[in-house]
């Protein structure tokens, strides 16, 4: 039973802002089609048949269709090597009918994923995975943000979370999530601390966080008692059983704002992917 004497954080719902962003994207895609006759196209590349990856790609393609974006799917057999994958990504990069490219992570044990990502032309890197995109994002230059961090920033803005001068703690430093998210927070004048598996005394750092981003992949690693009262908590973790990296019930009693899992960060990620695909098409057609 909930203890009603304790304050309870406001939920940062991601579904409604994601829907609004997708509606705006669909309108932009329709406008582009009207003006140029071109339908924006996202190529999805999937190596193997990992069930979670198959589901993610299917979901992304279904959302494309809803937003009036064409999707071209390129399934490759498990065991596909780096050079074949690099060739496929190079061909898609050179194909004028393709405006955005998504290589589903993980690409498998036989692939040098970094080399594969780098084969995506920066102009089509709508998932924000290339070194070029990371550098552009870090320097505040035009380019595509990594989708989940980009979605997190939009969510923070949606809830008018002040970032300048506040201490943002990012737990996790992966290339697709923690690291770019920290760069975007830094770009908004937050004071950023990165934590990872070798961080000593994680709870003492968590207690200093005005804004906490959990991007770990460990179910309920972070608990309410670890939080600074009134913190803004973004839980990007998505673990089996729809469980985040934050223990929701205890964190909700201490935080001011908290994302639910599911329905927080997840929907924003796909919405950003679609928005960036249409933006890429606009730029490639000289309209961006
Ligand atoms: P990842 O590549 O496995 O990285 C996990 C990070 O967490 C690493 O930097 C690791 O540190 C750190 N870590 C591991 N155990 C830790 C501990 N006990 N204390 C502190 N740090 C620890 O994972 P990822 O791809 O970034 O994904 C993280 C989570 O986000 C997963 O649950 C994933 O499903 C979810 N995710 C969600 C979305 C979405 O759209 N909602 C998108 C992407 C990912 P080291 O670097 O030292 O190993």
Residues 39-76 have pLDDT tens digits of: 999 999 999 999 999 999 999 999 999 999 999 999 99
How would residue 288 be classed by pLDDT, with cut points 50, 70 and 90? confident
Residues within 6 Å of ligand 1 by CB: 148, 171-174, 176-178, 195-199, 202, 215-218, 221, 236-239, 265-266, 269
Q: What is the mean pLDDT of the chain?
A: 96
Quick one: 33 exposed, middle or buried, by C-beta within 10 A (0-12, 13-18, 19+)? middle
Ligand 1 nearest atom to the CA of residue 216, by list position: 7
Residue among 273, 237, 233 nearest 101 (CA): 273
| Statement: the pTM of the whole predicted model exceeds 0.85 | yes
Instruction: Domain count for the chain, please give it.
Output: 2
157 lies in the same domain as 238: yes
Ligand 1 nearest atom to the CA of residue 244, by list position: 32
Residue 255 in tokens: 């935080």
The verdict on residue 111 lying in a domain is yes
| Domain with 166 in it | 147-266
How would residue 91 be classed by pLDDT, with cut points 50, 70 and 90? very high
pLDDT value of position 199 = 98
* 4 pLDDT above the threshold of 60: no
40 lies in the same domain as 76: yes
162 lies in the same domain as 109: no
188 with 162: CB under 8 angstroms?
no
- 79: domain CATH number is 3.40.50.10860
188 lies in the same domain as 84: no
Cis peptide leading into 106, omega within 30 of 0? yes
Centre of ligand 1 to C-alpha 183, Å, is: 16
CA distance 63 to 181: 24
The verdict on residue 7 lying in a domain is no
104 lies in the same domain as 153: no
The verdict on residue 6 lying in a domain is no
Binding residues: 172-174
* 13 pLDDT above the threshold of 80: yes
Query: What pLDDT, in 10s, does the model give residues 140-188?
Result: 999 999 999 999 999 999 999 999 999 999 999 999 999 999 999 999 9
pLDDT value of position 6 = 63
Centre of ligand 1 to C-alpha 24, Å, is: 30
CA distance 279 to 288: 7
243 with 261: CB under 8 angstroms?
yes
DSSP H helical ranges for 231-264: 248-254
């Amino acid at each position: 039973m909930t203890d009603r004497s304790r304050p309870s954080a406001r939920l940062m719902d991601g579904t409604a802002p994601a829907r609004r962003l997708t509606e705006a994207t669909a309108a932009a895609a329709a406008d582009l089609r009207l003006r140029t006759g071109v339908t924006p196209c996202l190529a999805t590349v999937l190596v193997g048949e990992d069930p979670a990856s198959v589901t993610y790609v299917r979901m992304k393609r279904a959302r494309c269709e809803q937003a009036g974006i064409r999707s071209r799917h390129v399934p490759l057999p498990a065991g596909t090597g780096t050079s074949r994958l690099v060739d496929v990504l190079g061909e898609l990069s050179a194909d004028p009918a393709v405006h955005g490219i998504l290589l589903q992570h993980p690409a498998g044990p036989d692939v040098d994923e970094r080399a594969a990502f780098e084969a995506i032309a920066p102009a089509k890197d709508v998932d924000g995975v290339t070194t070029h995109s990371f550098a552009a994002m870090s320097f505040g230059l035009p380019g595509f943000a990594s989708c989940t961090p980009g979605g997190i920033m939009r969510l923070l803005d949606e809830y008018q979370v002040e970032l300048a001068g506040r201490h943002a703690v990012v737990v996790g430093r992966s290339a697709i999530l923690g690291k770019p998210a920290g760069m975007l927070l830094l770009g908004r004048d937050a004071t950023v601390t990165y934590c990872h598996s070798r961080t000593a005394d994680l709870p003492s750092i968590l207690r200093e966080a005005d804004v906490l981003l959990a991007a770990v992949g460990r179910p309920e690693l972070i608990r309410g008692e670890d939080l600074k009262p009134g913190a803004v908590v973004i839980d990007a973790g998505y673990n089996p059983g729809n469980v985040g990296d934050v223990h929701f019930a205890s964190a909700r009693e201490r935080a001011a704002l908290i994302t639910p899992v599911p329905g927080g960060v997840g929907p924003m990620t796909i919405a950003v992917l679609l928005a960036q695909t249409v933006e890429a098409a606009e730029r490639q057609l000289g309209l961006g």
